[in-house]
Amino acid sequence: MPQATLTRTATEAADMVLTLTVAGQLCGVPVLSVRDVLGEQAITRIPLAPPEIAGSLNLRGRIVTALDLRRRLGLPPRDPGRPAMSVVVEVGGELYSLLADQVGEVLALNPAERAPNPPTLQPAWRDLSLGVQRLGGSLLVLLDVGRLLEIEA
């Protein structure tokens, strides 16, 4: 395959996001960091872990730390009985599960249409976002997976 094709394909993949919903807010994570999407999983609580850490789950023999996006983003807890979806991401060779209310589709975004975080965005979100992008009548918040995982004990 010619080098120009490889470069264009890599650039196109870098502009793709997996959409997910957290408390009604449309969010996106870079598709290149996503390794798996799972339905409801058995999560084992980890004693003395920060409140954002929901626990750990077993993914084909690997222990994966589960992060509750609602808690991490300062949102109210999920209604009891509503299962969470797991978006498994890889950062620094480790797997993490981001617990979301719903997982949507993979979208190719135009980077020229991306806007910086608006000043009205809550500080917790602003610190964890790469920017925003309009999708029809909705605002997609692009989450910074690396920053999401920076949790102080």
Instruction: Summarize pLDDT for 70-121 with one digit per residue, the tens.
Output: 999 999 998 888 889 999 999 988 999 999 999 999 999 998 899 999 898 8
Q: Could you give phi then psi for residue 135, rounded to 5 degrees? A: -130, 100
Residue 9 predicted with pLDDT over 70: no
CA–CA dist 99, 83 (Å, integer): 9
Average pLDDT over all residues of the chain: 89
Give residues with Cβ within 8 angstroms of 138, minimum separation 6.
Answer: 26
Residue 6 predicted with pLDDT over 50: no
CA–CA dist 30, 145 (Å, integer): 8
Q: How would you classify the pairing of strands 85-91 and 34-38?
A: antiparallel
Instruction: Kindly state the DSSP code that residue 46 receives in the 8-state scheme.
Output: -
Given this model, what pLDDT does residue 55 score? 96
Q: Chain-centre distance of CA 96, in angstroms?
A: 10
- Please work out, in degrees rounded to the nearest 5, the angle formed at the alpha carbon of residue 135 by the alpha carbons of 127 and 109: 75
The label of the residue with tokens 């135009």 reads 110
Residue 7 predicted with pLDDT over 60: no
Given this model, what pLDDT does residue 151 score? 77
Share of the chain above pLDDT 90, in %: 70
pTM for this prediction = 0.87
- CATH superfamily for 17-147 is CheA-289, Domain 4 (2.40.50.180)
Residue 5 predicted with pLDDT over 50: no
Identify the band that residue 3 occupies on the pLDDT scale cut at 50, 70 and 90. very low
Residue 142 predicted with pLDDT over 50: yes
CA–CA dist 70, 100 (Å, integer): 8
Choice among 11-20, 28-37, 39-48 with the minimum mean pLDDT: 11-20
**Domain residues of the chain, as ranges?**
17-147
